[in-house]
Amino acid sequence: MKPMELNTNKKPVWCPGCGNYAIWNALKGAIAELGLNPWEVVTVSGIGCSGKMVNYIKCYGFHSLHGRVIPVATGVKLANKNLTVIANGGDGDGYGMGLGHFIHAMRRNVDITYIVHNNRTYGLTTGQASPTTLKGVVTKSTPEGVIDEPVNPIVYALSAGATFIARGYSGESELLKELIKEGINHKGFALIDVLQPCVSFAKEFSYDFYDNRVYKLDDNYDFTSKENAYKIAYEEDRFALGIIYKDISKPSYEEQHSVLKDKALVEREVRVRDISNILSAYK
Amino acid sequence: MSMLKIKIAAPAGFGIMSMGPLLAKVLKRYGFYVMGYPEYPSLIRGGYNSYLLMISDEPVYSPYEKTDILLTYSKLSFDKEDLKSDTIVIADFEKLRVDKSNLNCKVYDIPFAKTVKEEGLPDIVQNIIGIAYLCKGMGIDISVLKEVLKGALSDKVLEVNYKAAECGYRLCTEHFVNVEWEKRDLNEHIIMTGNEVAATSAITAGVNFYSTYPMTPASTVLHFLAKYAKDYNIIVKHTEDEIAGITMAIGAAYAGARAMTGTSGGGFSLMVEGLGLAAITETPLVLFISQRPGPATGMPTWQEQADLRFVLHASQDEFVRAVFTPGDLKELFYAVFDAFNIAEKYQIPVFVLSDKYLSESIFMEDGFKTEGLKIDRGYIFEGDKSDPMNLFPRYKEYKDGIPKRAFPGTPGGIHKTPSNEHDEYGFVSDDAFIRKEQQERRFRKLENLVKEMPTPLLYGDETADITFVSWGSTKTVLFEAMKYEKNFNFIHFPSIYPIDWKSTKGLLETRKKLILIENNFTGQLGGIIAENTGVFIEDKFLKYDGRPFFVEEVLNILKRVS
Ligand SMILES: Cc1ncc(C[n+]2csc(CCOP(=O)(O)OP(=O)(O)O)c2C)c(N)n1
Ligand code: SF4
């Protein structure tokens, strides 16, 4: 299958130059190169420009609520662990509204891949500050500049026990595709935080801003070290791209759940169950 | 009819909540009908817990105000309880430091504390000693008590409790209550709380996914399902909050699970957003809501029926949902079972509305007939392997407004499932024609759905002068009151939406005098009836003090109006 065949007949309505196109292409490329059957892939999204992604990829797609990508995706995966579940959302969606779900998802380590379109702004609602907008930036909702400290998703993920943490960039589509592939192949929760320029509302965080600040982690980088990962996560003036942290020693949630060990939940027939055993305890 | 009301009271942490059901089981095994109603504050230790047991040689449905025998381990009893001259009080007066000479009731002063000390027993088994004392006083053989203890306790603590039971029997030297009633063979009867029945019914119905966050009085459904999860292959997930609880269940149902969530009003407030998601995506979902008083945190462990309007109207916009309002264990059992079928058949959210009183009181039933029950998963697209990349019209009408579901993983079933309005394939759309078409299609489900919901029924003498109108658990108290007063009947609503209002109107209009009876301040059902039928019920008997109706209250009303 070629990535093109994963197109739906809907044309993306993102602004010309939006970083979401690169994520879209990378995701299609990843699904195609992994040879996944599209009808066995579910993309789940939140709400925002990022959330529109599900409409443009020909596989099952659940365009959920603002901030609720993670629990919906978790429900899908727990019901049918045979599916490839890919969650998509924005930084407002996932690090604002859905921050609680995000942290808990990593404690759980359900096998889903979570791609955050991190544009440091609220795109769809036309440019308010998001939880990752850096301090001092003037937006519609912060005319005197942001005072809050930004959310550092990599640090949050590390401290919440994530087993796969990567950073991608819309300006590095090939790398992004490889990271998504790695994330999908990882057995457990995979976070891919993507630096995604929003050309309409986050002018401070343009391609130029990132092009000068991103660098690729080299092959010698040891992503099994949490210490390394924290160092990278706290870098302020430059952004490492690649797999920042990976731990394959922890089993996924599904692997630990007694009900899911041998079969997917939906592989068990729904039938009227015999409750005489239960009732006899109440006689 | 013979009737005895026993109350056991103690500070929280003393085991009263398990003593009540334990004694109830002993009485059932002995051959009496029992109903039990617990009251407790939201405290782990201290405070005042009580368990009231109604015991009879006939089926007994609801609590009374007056207690005949009080077994207490709490000084507070002497302030809280209305002790009459014929009330029997069993207590360790020395331990409680209560001067019994001032009490105008029959007193049995039993040295519980001294006994456990002398026998080298742990303090806690004073509760069993008291229960045993009561059993002996009623002439029940110790073997019945021991048998129940054996079923309820682990082997590790059994000996200690047997010993405590023997102490209680030794301490009691007379049959101080006369229960020489006819005994029945009630061995096949079950004695359960509403929540235990709701969970058991969900298991019967094949539930395989339950995700929620604990909230009294719904939490015990979570505990029950978690306990049986492994045996029945159910995923039971205590999530980070109710928002995750409902949306995770929606994700699971979308992927093909038979999903349910459960909570009380406060948790449901958080779930409302998810409710809308279930509705617009037409994802089947069963919601078990157990009511308690108060907005926000309210009175966590008390009774009210004031969330009816809330579940009927929750969420923005309008959509089809179903609301069951069962009144007793049987109705609850079948409501939960049917809720799953209706949710999947019509692809809608379905509510089963309980309340603290129904959820946590114990009632007896002669079991639940499960022969003939059938699972209906509704219209499901089986797939097309020859064209796996086909886009599937998930939101196209298949029959009677209902589309076909295609679970992810189904070849040829690819579609989109958005929280936005959408076209037949699930692509987001704000086209005026599509919006109208989709909205009309979804509402077409009502026509058949209304025929499947249980209708309001008249109980009692057709020709009676007074007709109470009730929904949910108030049914039980009206049944109980009928034992004493025949000149009334009642119309009970086992479901409220969608129902056939035309026939309901007929049923209401042919009554002589209607009285609304509801556990809320505004008479919510009354409003709904007026809105749908034009029948305005002026006489209202409303209670909103956190307690269910007691039989005496209903009888007083009858006296007042007749
Ligand atoms: C409950 C709720 N609140 C608010 C909104 C409005 N809303 C839609 S998208 C959005 C923010 C999107 O920002 P982000 O997640 O960063 O995504 P982006 O559009 O930048 O991709 C908001 C606030 C909504 N849809 N739902
Ligand atoms: S507003 Fe920003 S994020 Fe949204 S489509 Fe336009 S460029 Fe992309």
Nearest ligand by distance to the CA of A120: 1
Q: Which of residues 170 through 229 in chain B touch A, CB cutoff 8 A?
A: 187-192, 196, 200, 203-206, 208-209, 211, 228-229
> Alpha carbon A140 to chain centroid distance?
26
Q: Are residues B90 and B73 in the same domain?
A: yes
A37 to B411: CB separation less than 8 angstroms, yes or no: yes
What is the longest distance spanned by two Cα atoms in chain A?
74
Quote the ipTM score.
0.98
The reply to whether B374 falls in a domain is: no
Provide the residue-wise pLDDT of chain A in tens; the chain has 283 residues: 999 999 999 999 999 999 999 999 999 999 999 999 999 999 999 999 999 999 999 999 999 999 999 999 999 999 999 999 999 999 999 999 999 999 999 999 999 999 999 999 999 999 999 999 999 999 999 999 999 999 999 999 999 999 999 999 999 999 999 999 999 999 999 999 999 999 999 999 999 999 999 999 999 999 999 999 999 999 999 999 999 999 999 999 999 999 999 999 999 999 999 999 999 999 9
B454, B456, B460, B462 alpha-carbon torsion, rounded to 10°:
-120
The reply to whether B140 falls in a domain is: yes
Q: Are residues B80 and B147 in the same domain?
A: yes
Which residues of chain A lie closer than 8 angstroms to B361, CB-CB?
Answer: none
Q: Are residues B30 and B158 in the same domain?
A: yes
User: Is B102 within 8 Å of chain A by CB?
Assistant: no
Considering CB atoms only, which of A82, A83, A283 is closest to B190? Answer: A283
The reply to whether B386 falls in a domain is: no
- Interface mutation vs chain A, best among B230, B247, B271, B366, most A CBs within 10 Å: B247
Q: What is the pLDDT of chain B when averaged over all its residues?
A: 97
The reply to whether B384 falls in a domain is: no
CATH code for the domain of B275: 3.40.50.970
pLDDT at B52 over 90: yes
pLDDT band with cut points at 50, 70 and 90 for residue B151: very high
How many angstroms away from the CA of A57 is the closest CA of chain B?
10
Q: Are residues B239 and B289 in the same domain?
A: yes
pLDDT of residue A180: 98
**C-alpha pair distances (Å), B241 with each of B125, B269, B321, B440:** 37, 11, 23, 34
- Over residues A45-62, the pLDDT tens digits come to 999 999 999 999 999 999
Using an 8 Å Cβ cutoff, are A144 and A216 in contact?
no
Domain that includes residue A199, residue range: 3-281
How many angstroms away from the CA of A235 is the closest CA of chain B?
31
Q: Are residues B107 and B65 in the same domain?
A: yes
Which residues of chain A lie closer than 8 angstroms to B24, CB-CB?
Answer: none
The reply to whether B183 falls in a domain is: no
User: Which tokens hold the place of B530?
Assistant: 């007026």
- Interface mutation vs chain B, best among A13, A268, A283, most B CBs within 10 Å: A283
User: Which tokens hold the place of A262?
Assistant: 């041998």
**Distance of alpha carbon B202 from alpha carbon B288, whole angstroms:** 10
**Distance of alpha carbon B131 from alpha carbon A280, whole angstroms:** 23
- How many folded domains does chain B comprise? 4
**Distance of alpha carbon B562 from alpha carbon B552, whole angstroms:** 15
User: Left (φ > 0), alpha (ψ -120 to 50) or beta: where does A229 sit?
Assistant: alpha
CATH code for the domain of B24: 3.40.920.10
Q: Are residues B332 and B426 in the same domain?
A: no
The reply to whether B338 falls in a domain is: yes
Domain that includes residue B125, residue range: 3-171
Using an 8 Å Cβ cutoff, are A194 and A117 in contact?
yes
- The residue to mutate among A11, A13, A14, A139, having the most atoms of ligand 2 within 8 angstroms of its beta carbon, is A14
How many angstroms away from the CA of A258 is the closest CA of chain B?
7
Q: What separation in Å is there between the alpha carbon of B429 and the centre of ligand 2? A: 19
Using an 8 Å Cβ cutoff, are A41 and A6 in contact?
no
Beta-carbon count within 10 A of A51 CB:
26
DSSP string of B288-311, one letter each residue: EEEE-SSSTT--TTS-----HHHH
Amino acid letter, A237:
D
DSSP A148: S
CATH code for the domain of B513: 3.40.50.920
Phi, psi of A65, rounded to the nearest 5 degrees: -100, 165
Q: What separation in Å is there between the alpha carbon of B233 and the centre of ligand 1? A: 37
Considering CB atoms only, which of B189, B230, B416 is closest to A283? Answer: B189
pLDDT band with cut points at 50, 70 and 90 for residue B562: confident
- How many folded domains does chain A comprise? 1
Using an 8 Å Cβ cutoff, are A151 and A99 in contact?
yes
Q: Are residues B16 and B136 in the same domain?
A: yes
Q: Are residues B72 and B163 in the same domain?
A: yes
Q: Are residues B322 and B440 in the same domain?
A: no
CATH code for the domain of A62: 3.40.50.970
Using an 8 Å Cβ cutoff, are B139 and B175 in contact?
yes
User: Is B427 within 8 Å of chain A by CB?
Assistant: yes
The reply to whether B516 falls in a domain is: yes
A53 pocket-lining for ligand 2 (C-beta < 6 Å): no
User: Which tokens hold the place of B415?
Assistant: 């579609």
**Distance of alpha carbon A66 from alpha carbon B485, whole angstroms:** 56
Which residues of chain A lie closer than 8 angstroms to B407, CB-CB?
Answer: 80, 266
For B190, name the nearest residue in chain A, comparing CA atoms only: A283
Which residues of chain B lie closer than 8 angstroms to A3, CB-CB?
Answer: none
Phi, psi of A247, rounded to the nearest 5 degrees: -135, 110
